[in-house]
A and B are shown apart, each in its own frame.
Chain A
Amino acid sequence: MRDMPSEIFTQLVDAHYAPLFRFALSLTKNSADAGDLTQQTFFIWAKQGHALREESKAKSWLFTTLYREFLRSRRRAERVTALEDLGPVEADPPAPEVDVLTGLDANLVVEALQEVDEAYRIPLTLFYLQDLSYKEIAAMIEAPIGTVMSRLSRGKAQLRTALARKEAGARGKVVPFQKPDTRKLS
C-alpha cells in the first residue's frame, strides 16, 4: 500500500468486502474460492496503490477488478454464447409468493441465483446487491445498456423458475408456518 494510507485501505475493505464476497460467491459458487477472489481483488488494489479517492469510483473499480480476475482465472476455452440471440423470455414464469420467498433460507436463494446462466447471473447479482446502477454494470461488463436490461429480464425469469423449484423442494421437507398476510391497504 505504498501510495495509499492504511486507514483508507481499512475503510475500503470495511465498506466493500461483504458485497464483493457475495458477488464472488455468485460467480464461483464456492465460499472458499469467493473468499480468495475477494482477497485477490483487494491485494491488487494494495499493490497498485490505487489513487482513486472517490467512493463511487472505488466501488466500481473493485467490482470490475473482481470480475476480471474471475474471468482470468477461468479457462478461456469456455463457451460464451451470444445469449441475446436465444429465444424470447417466458413472460413472468411461476415464482414463489414474496411472503414465501421471505421465509426461504438465504442459502437457498443464493443457490437459486447460482443456477442462473452466468451471462445473466453477473448483472443480476450486481442488480440485487444494489451497489451499482445499470449504467455502471454496463460499463463493467462492457456491454450496451440494452443488453444489460435484456440480461436482467432473462436472469429474473430464470431465477423465478429456480426459486419455484427450491420452494417446492423446501415445502417437501420442513416449511415454517407463515402467518397469512392479513394486512389491509390504507
Chain B
Amino acid sequence: MNNAEAKFILQGYRPNGTDAGDETFCAAVEQAGKDPALGEWFARQQAFDRAVSAKLEQVMPPADLRAAILAGGRVTAAGAPRRTWWTHPAWLAAAASLAILLAVSVALWPRSAVAFENFAVADARNSATHGGHGHETGELQATLNNPATPLTGKLPIDYGMLHDKGCRMVQFQGRDVLEICFNRNGVWFHCYIARSADFPRLAISAVPALVELGGAALASWTDGENIIVVVSKTGRKDLQALL
C-alpha cells in the first residue's frame, strides 16, 4: 500500500476511535505510525475531523422538537386500526412511569470504557506524530521511567500542573486528556490521563483491567481523581510487567 492509498482509506477513519478495531484501517493506520510524513498528515486530518464533529454536536434541535415527535407518535399510533391490550390508558400510564424509571436508570448507568480505550490505542498507534518526548512532566515522567516502580502504586499525578506545563494533550469527547510517553527497558509506552470528574459515567475500576486490542494491549484504572490508561504497542507481556 502506498501513501496515497493509505490516505484514501484513512479519510473514512472516524475521529472518535470507533473504527480502531476495523481491519480495513489496520494496515493504513500502521503505515501512518511508521511513515512520519503520512503520520503527520493523519494527525492533522484527525484533529480537523475531530474539530468539525465537535462543532456539529453543538447544533441543537429546536426546543420543542422532541415533544412534537412524541406527541405525533401518539397521534400516529391512535390512527392505527388495531388496538392492543397494552394501549389501555392504565397500561400506558404504567409504561410512562416505567419509561421515566428506565430513562433515569439509563442516564445514571455507568458507561463502558471501550470507546476511551479504542481512542487511546488509536492515538498510541500514531505515536510517530506525537512529536518526541520532552521532560515537562518532571516527577511523574521519572516515576514512569523508573523500572523499579509498579504503576499500580500511587502515581504523582498533578493534572493541573501537567495541563499548564505543556504536556501533550488530546481531546476525547470534548475533554482534555494528557498523554505522556515513557520508556522502560527500551520499550515505549503511552500513558493517558483524564480527570475522573470529566467522565463521571465511565465504568473504570481501581483495579487495573488489562485488555488486548488489535495487537496492542492496554491497562486502565482509576486512582479516584484520575483515569489512567497505559497502552503498549508491543503487547500484553510488556505491559503486564509494569503492573
Contacts and interface: CB of A to CB of B under 8 A. Distances in A.
Interface of B is mostly: helix
B56 A101 contact: no
B109 interface: no
A30 B71 CA distance: 22
A79 interface: no
Contacts of B166: 182-185
B95 A5 contact: yes
B117 interface: no
A39 B69 CA distance: 5
Interface string B158-181: 000000001111000000001111
Given A46-B77, A102-B51, A152 B82 contact: no
Interface string A139-171: 000000000111011001001100000000000
A25 interface: yes
Contacts of B92: 6
Interface in B39-60: 41, 44, 47-60
Contacts, number: 176
Nearest to B99: A7
B61 A2 contact: no
Interface in A81-139: 92, 95, 98, 101-102, 104, 106-107, 109-110, 113, 125, 127-130, 133-134
Contacts of B8: 149-150, 153
Contacts of A98: 44, 47-48, 50-51
B95 A6 contact: yes
A46 B132 CA distance: 54
Contact of B98 (A7, A22, A182, A183): A7
Given A9-B73, A159-B52, A49 B80 contact: yes
Contacts of A109: 52, 55-56
Interface of B: 8-9, 11-12, 14-16, 18-19, 22, 24, 41, 44, 47-62, 65-66, 68-70, 72-74, 76-77, 79-80, 82-84, 86-87, 92, 95-96, 98-99, 102-103, 106, 130-134, 136-137, 141, 166-169, 178-181
22 contacts: A1-B73, A2-B77, A2-B83, A5-B95, A6-B73, A13-B70, A21-B59, A35-B61, A35-B62, A38-B61, A38-B65, A46-B73, A101-B55, A106-B59, A127-B14, A128-B53, A130-B16, A134-B19, A152-B12, A182-B166, A184-B168, A186-B133
Given A46-B76, A183-B168, 15 more contacts: A1-B80, A2-B87, A5-B95, A9-B73, A22-B61, A25-B59, A101-B55, A106-B55, A109-B55, A110-B56, A113-B52, A128-B56, A129-B56, A130-B16, A186-B168
Interface of A: 1-3, 5-7, 9-11, 13-14, 17-18, 21-22, 25, 31, 35, 38-39, 42-43, 45-47, 49, 92, 95, 98, 101-102, 104, 106-107, 109-110, 113, 125, 127-130, 133-134, 148-150, 152-153, 156, 159-160, 182-186
Q: Which 9 A-B pairs have the closest CB atoms?
A: A7-B99, A184-B166, A185-B131, A1-B77, A106-B58, A21-B61, A109-B55, A134-B12, A2-B80
